[in-house]
Structure 1
């Protein structure tokens, strides 16, 4: 998935670990159930302390994330079979799934090399980037003040001068790596969603300029990680009271592939608590060659808002994935081609493309609605959908349309 412009979706790459989903009222008993059902020893997540620990380095076989009711375990085939039997029985185990490998979603190619010239109604200016104009964020009176936004990605370079006064909360869920971003993707996404109004150099690029920033490093400096880091990051974001979670990450899926029951339940539980999860639809398409691939994992879950990418001529980005009625659909679109934002020092700024770049636009605008309208969870989802600008493009590609600020 590192080269999103080539090839077709392959089967999910897995880590060898297993996700176990429990009923909402059974989380406290989950370690005992794992032991009794499959002989698996597990810790509750708070017992792991401030630093993440790889399961292979633990005396136990896994971790139970109590905010979500999900365990990640090392299990042999017989133990997995015992857990799957429990799903069909009377025990409160709802689903058992293989843990997937996930990636930062971006594409280095900013536009098809053979694309004909098109009018660009939304150029960057010395005041703001084109995405802020296209979404109306630059003109919005809301700033996200008092709203907590979690960006789950490759971390953040907190040394960047544009974050000097923001006091972001940082946490790494990648064993052996600090929260500082050694990749760049996370710093770019954090900048788009919550970058400062006043910047060190160039135009403003941040949407929710006064939101409280929570950056969870769930992907390593290689841009690669696993479901465990994401689950841990979501668990932390909920425990931290975050109103919006932005995830510019994922893995490809094949057509007609069911979405993850674990992630769908996690997202639904988050919505019930007032937290909206927004995720990138994926970059596996090549519309230059008439190939559209389906929305990736975990954005293809119905309770996660899946974001497609548009260019500044208001055309669907050539790499942006599309809806699959049997797998998952695009819900909304955002600016995602040649998007300028923050980058780790010494570079400071960089323009890149991807549904990853569209996703933090939507997350930042969600923070604006949360502040301006006082809405959360499903009501926040509804506000984004109701106010989006309808487009003369297929809904399979752009969902309801282009996200708009209040």
Structure 2
């Protein structure tokens, strides 16, 4: 079976000169103290690695992009994708719903990492942005990552990036935090899937490059894992299900460590921390039966990750938002995720729906709060908790809206 194997590299003696020169710059991916590889091991060999404090093995799980949905039936909502916002200009309904169009902040000075299908750098939504080669890394074809380019052959990553930080396109505001200039793009999939090691290496890279926010739109492909165990490993179905569940449980602490729960597997000894935003998933089917709901997928379900559900416009002023029928439950917060207008790879705009459309709204709002709370650019110890407190205090959720569906509520930008 395939395992994600982590090995701690020997630490070099401290060099005061290097520390002085690199102060505040963040560690590079090459300076990572942890090597992550994918290896074929039997259960006994994997267990032996657990006895070494400098090594560990986790079952390598299959993950997939949380792809946007096609609308039909109850998923369809009749409303304008753009509305009149501040200063009379058009803004997408999502940007307006989170209050970004009236916020005095624009995200300047914040570094965001988008780990997705890449980006169409030439799109007008990213006009004026620089994409230095060291801020682009391709993990889709090489799980260790190759710097220099992250082209988007799918369009998903371009749509997500533009929702976070896109500049106006055709006179319409599509970005929540268009003042962001420091962008890290990690291409981790072409929609054909990825594994635990790909995600681990990509998050490590983003942390090492100094990301304040990391945005993910992927989830554990549990059915594929069970198929693999039954068809390739020849496990009986009941054993395959148990093994898959064990793999899920074993990966929880791995992802928790990346979110700051433990420094053991972080990329450098003193990371400044980051807020990791993850889409909860589109597996629920409330339109078919209200009982057909699924809880947030891994990695969104891991401790320390910020899990995001999707909402659509509600029936009226007293209930401005309704949970999207596809949105998974047990999220931390929610955001607009239905018919979200944003950049299309190759040019123009396109409306897509999904929790992976909601997550970038939250990433953008977090950038606005970081700028508001820490305008000098410094990140004191515990800064992440300060930001999360603001998200919770300002989130919108009416008493009759279930916390299970909305989390603390629909995030709001600082005013």
Aligned residue-pair number: 339
Whole-angstrom CA distance in 2 between matches of 1:116 and 1:98: 39
Q: Conserved in 2, the CA contact under 8 Å of 1:287 and 1:319? A: yes
Whole-angstrom CA distance in 2 between matches of 1:393 and 1:121: 24
1:368 alignment counterpart? 368
Whole-angstrom CA distance in 2 between matches of 1:84 and 1:385: 41
Residue of structure 2 aligned with 1:377, choices 378, 384, 389? 384
Residue ranges of structure 2 left out of the alignment (5+ in a row): 12-27, 224-240, 315-320
Q: Conserved in 1, the CA contact under 8 Å of 2:81 and 2:340? A: no
Whole-angstrom CA distance in 2 between matches of 1:378 and 1:388: 15
1:213 alignment counterpart? 183
Higher mean alpha-carbon deviation, 174-183 vs 365-374, is at 174-183
1:28 alignment counterpart? 10
1:12 alignment counterpart? none
Residue of structure 2 aligned with 1:386, choices 379, 387, 393? 393
Q: Conserved in 2, the CA contact under 8 Å of 1:283 and 1:321? A: yes
In structure 2, do the counterparts of structure 1 residues 234 and 205 end up closer, same or farther at CA, with 3 Å as the change threshold? same
Higher mean alpha-carbon deviation, 161-170 vs 151-160, is at 161-170
2:37 alignment counterpart? 72
Whole-angstrom CA distance in 1 between matches of 2:393 and 2:273: 18
Whole-angstrom CA distance in 1 between matches of 2:222 and 2:193: 17
Give the Å deviation of 1:85.
3.2
Give the Å deviation of 1:94.
7.5
Query: 1:192-228: CA deviations, max 9, x gaps?
Result: 01111x32x25211011011221111112x3522222
In structure 2, do the counterparts of structure 1 residues 215 and 117 end up closer, same or farther at CA, with 3 Å as the change threshold? closer
2:2 alignment counterpart? 17
Give the Å deviation of 1:334.
0.6
2:53 alignment counterpart? 92
1:397 alignment counterpart? 405
Q: Secondary structure at the match of 1:260?
A: helix
Residue ranges of structure 1 left out of the alignment (5+ in a row): 1-15, 30-44, 48-64, 324-329
CA RMSD, Structure 1 to Structure 2 (Å): 2.8
Q: Conserved in 2, the CA contact under 8 Å of 1:317 and 1:336? A: yes
Q: Secondary structure at the match of 1:320?
A: coil
Give the Å deviation of 1:121.
9.9
Q: Conserved in 1, the CA contact under 8 Å of 2:82 and 2:91? A: no
Give the Å deviation of 1:361.
0.3
Whole-angstrom CA distance in 2 between matches of 1:115 and 1:195: 26
Residue of structure 1 aligned with 2:108, choices 145, 162, 173? 145
Query: 1:282-324: CA deviations, max 9, x gaps?
Result: 001101122001210100002000000001221111111112x
**Superposition TM-score, scaled by structure 2 size:** 0.74
Give the Å deviation of 1:157.
0.5
Q: Conserved in 1, the CA contact under 8 Å of 2:68 and 2:356? A: no
